Amino acid sequence: MKILSSTQIKQADSVTIEKGISSIDLMERAAKACSDWIEINFKINKGFSIFCGNGNNGGDGFAIARMLYEKGFDVDVFIDENNSKFSDDSKINLDRIKKISGIGIKGFSKFENNRGSVIIDALFGYGLNRELSDDFKNLIEKLNQTQAPKISIDIPTGLFADKIINEHSTVFKTDFTLTFQFYKRSFLHPETGKFCGRITVLDIGLNKDFINEAKTDYFVIDEVLIKNIYKPRKEYSHKGTYGKSILVGGSYGKIGAVLMSTLSALRTGSGLTFIIAPKCGNMVLQSQIPEAMFIDSGEDHVVEIEIQEKAVYGIGPGLGKEKETQKALLEFIENYTDPVVLDADALNILAESQELNLIPKNSVITPHPLEFERLFGKTENSFQRLELAKQKAEELQIFIILKDHHTAVVTPEKKVFYNITGNAGMAKGGSGDVLTGILTSLISQRYEIEDACLFGVWLHGKAGDFAAGEFSTEAMLPTDLINKIGDVFKYLSN
């Protein structure tokens, strides 16, 4: 799914209107999509307090108020008593509800949530490009203090669609965001996404030709994309059909990391799977993963990385940073020209050596924010970090998977794909090791590198969602995630 800028969304609205639907009917379509969703998801709630601005987002709110009232809900509408100027379409919908005696219309200052009604935010849409006035800040702060369920229409008031907010900005903190046609980038960054709650994208029929032709570097990894990437297992095939994966890692006390990477590579479908690890891990690895072949390298830490032909390497989980290990890694990547997957201590070694130009072209690195900072330098926020990642991906001709709540895949062409699977239960040591194994396995199975990255982060997150569904986000383990990979493949097959 494409992510369009606020300017492009406005153009999409305009083109849709030019092609034969009036602006008021487009507003009606958006309001119906919202009211239908609200009716399904808030059946037991009888009362709604809808806060409407003076622009088209407020017009959506007025139309939603009318439709919810017609569905049998109690509705109060709150408007700015100090500003009587409304957009044309907003005024039409305001006039419509004025004719309905059962809908109360009051000033913002009259709000007292004594009935415990659901609060709907229709104050400002995606077009907001300035800080809120003091009056609106005071209103938002008052609404945020209520314990009622909250819904934002299109985007929570106070957020911008495409950029970071001031650290001390006042923003409506919603439980649900009903957005139209596209995700906004601000939904997908930690500083701003934390205000958005659960996001639902509603299709309101914006012009498909415009959307197909619109140029953007930003995308969401959705199931339509994944189903086009996924390659079902062929009946007439053998272990050589599905590649050779070599996981390199482990050191004394950290064998579990490379064990999880290897298990996840096998669960993801690797045909032949090897582990290069120190001898101290042999007993654990051979007993826990009999399907993988063990190659020893050193006693307590890796001292050499053997180069094998026609193999894909995933290097880093539990590797450690002993001097001999650092030397082994740098010698390996200096002499190896095919893409590799680098994570964890492999990235920390590269950060200390600053030998980033040794990374083979089209390789994949998977830093979390602190590892990224060690590699490329400090940034002020996640928006800046992503811009730096785009620059470095192009400069080094590598794929950068920026791990975060919404992990982003950054390509050498500076395209960004945000992942929307996954949950807070994956914020545990070992989850990243699982991703390394998944990516290594997919690349060894001859998925294109970009496709492997997109499929890998989606599969990782989806397995995490299945694990959380069974065990809870608190109790789930990275090994539970590995065991749910098979359920994800079943899900895709069905």
> What is the 3-state secondary structure of 369-413?
HHHHHHHHCCCCCHHHHHHHHHHHHHHHCCEEEECCCCCEEECCC
| pLDDT tens across the length of the chain (494 residues) | 999 999 999 999 999 999 989 999 999 999 999 999 999 999 887 799 999 999 999 999 999 999 999 999 999 999 998 888 999 999 999 999 999 999 999 999 999 876 679 999 999 998 888 899 999 999 999 999 999 999 999 999 999 999 999 989 999 999 999 999 999 999 999 999 999 999 999 999 999 999 999 999 999 999 999 999 999 998 888 888 899 999 999 999 999 999 999 999 999 999 999 999 999 999 999 999 999 999 999 999 999 999 999 999 999 999 999 999 999 999 999 999 999 999 999 999 999 999 999 999 999 999 999 999 999 999 999 999 999 999 999 999 999 999 999 999 999 999 999 999 999 999 999 999 999 999 999 999 999 999 999 999 999 999 999 999 999 999 999 999 999 999 999 999 98
- What is the reported pLDDT for 136? 95
CA 270 from centre of chain: 26
- How far apart (Å, rounded) are the C-alpha atoms in residues 339 and 325? 20
Using CA atoms in the order 12, 17, 22, 25, what is the torsion angle rounded to 10 degrees? -30
In sequence order, the β-bridge partners of residue 120 are 50, 151
- What is the reported pLDDT for 129? 83
Q: Are 94 and 60 in contact (CB under 8 A)?
A: no
Instruction: Pull the structure tokens for residue 467.
Output: 């694990």
Say which residues have a Cβ less than 8 Å from residue 79's Cβ, sequence separation at least 6.
52, 54, 58, 94, 105, 106, 107, 108
Name the residue type at position 4: L
Give the residue among 284, 330, 283, 273 at the shortest CA–CA distance from 303.
Answer: 330
Same fold, 6-216 and 227-493: no
Instruction: Pull the structure tokens for residue 359.
Output: 């990374």
Say which residues have a Cβ less than 8 Å from residue 326's Cβ, sequence separation at least 6.
349, 352, 353
Going from the C-alpha of 240 to that of each of 2, 263, 299, 445, 487, the distances in angstroms are 36, 18, 31, 9, 24
- How far apart (Å, rounded) are the C-alpha atoms in residues 90 and 79? 12
Task: Please return the burial class of 143, using the count of CB atoms within 10 Å of its CB with bins 0-12, 13-18 and 19+.
Answer: buried
Domains of the chain: which residue ranges?
Answer: 6-216, 227-493
Task: Please return the burial class of 167, using the count of CB atoms within 10 Å of its CB with bins 0-12, 13-18 and 19+.
Answer: exposed
**Helix locations, 42-159, DSSP H:** 56-70, 88-98, 134-144
- How far apart (Å, rounded) are the C-alpha atoms in residues 126 and 180? 10
Name the residue type at position 435: L
Q: Are 60 and 34 in contact (CB under 8 A)?
A: yes
Instruction: Pull the structure tokens for residue 251.
Output: 């050191």
Q: Which CATH class is domain 227-493?
A: alpha beta
Instruction: Provide the 8-state DSSP code for 162.
Output: S
Give the residue among 290, 248, 283, 287 at the shortest CA–CA distance from 266.
Answer: 290
Give the count of beta carbons closer than 10 Å to the beta carbon of residue 381. 14
Name the residue type at position 381: N
φ/ψ of 120, rounded to 5, equals -115, 125
- What is the reported pLDDT for 114? 63
CA 432 from centre of chain: 15
The CATH code belonging to domain 6-216 is 3.40.50.10260
- What is the reported pLDDT for 240? 86
Q: Is the dihedral of CA 433, 439, 444, 445 positive or negative?
A: positive
- What is the reported pLDDT for 115? 64
In sequence order, the β-bridge partners of residue 296 are 277
